[in-house]
Structure 1
Amino acid sequence: MTNIQLNVLFKKMQKDDKKEVLMFHVLSDELPHADELLKMPGSITVLEIAKSELEPIAAEFANIQRDSKKTVLKFNVNADSKGKIDKFYPFAGSNVDLLIQPSQMSIEEFYEEPHEGIKYEVNKDGTVTVPEGQLKIDDVEGDE
Structure 2
Amino acid sequence: MAKVEIDVLFKKIQKDDKKEVIEFHVLGDETPHNSELIGMAGSIVIIGIGDVKLSAECKSVQRDSKKVVLKFEAKGDSEEKTIKLYPKAGFNVKLSLEQSQMSIEEFEEEHEGIEYKVDGDGSVSVPTDQLTIEDVNETENDDDLLD
Tell me if structure 2 keeps the 8 A contact 1:7–1:96: yes
* Structure 1 unaligned residues grouped into runs of 5+: 116-140
Report how many residues are paired: 113
- Residue 113 of structure 1 and its aligned partner are, at CA, apart by 4.6
Q: CA deviation at 1:114?
A: 8.2
Partner of 2:51: 53
Question: What's the offset of the Cα at 1:78?
Answer: 2.6
Q: Which residue of 2 aligns with 1:98?
A: 95
* Counterpart amino acid of residue 21 in structure 1: V
Name the structure where helix makes up a greater proportion of residues.
Answer: 2
CA distance in 2: counterparts of 1:86 and 1:4, whole angstroms? 23
CA deviations over 1:70-99 (Å, ceiling 9, x no partner)? 000000003731111100111000000000
- Residue deviations 1:103-140, cap 9 Å, x none? 0111111122589xxxxxxxxxxxxxxxxxxxxxxxxx
When normalised by structure 1's length, the TM-score is: 0.73
SS of corresponding position for 2:77: helix
1:73 aligned to which of 66, 70, 74 = 70
Q: Which aligned pairs between 1:110-121 and structure 2 lie closer than 5 A?
A: 110-113=107-110
The alpha carbon displacement at 1:38 in A equals: 0.9
* Normalised TM-score (structure 2): 0.71
CA distance in 2, matches of 1:74, 1:112: 21
Q: Percent identity?
A: 55
Paired residue for 2:30?
Answer: 30
Question: Is contact 2:76–2:107 with CA below 8 Å preserved after alignment?
Answer: no
* Matched letter for residue 2 of structure 2: T
Corresponding residue for residue 7 of structure 1: 7
* Matches of 1:37 and 1:72, distance apart in 2: 11
- Deviation track 1:26-82 (CA, whole Å, cap 9, x = no partner) reads 001111000111111110000001xx332x100000001000000000000037311
Gaps of 5+ in 2: 113-128, 130-147
Task: Find the counterpart in structure 2 of residue 20 from structure 1.
Answer: 20
Distance in 2 between residues matched to 1:113 and 1:81, nearest whole Å: 18
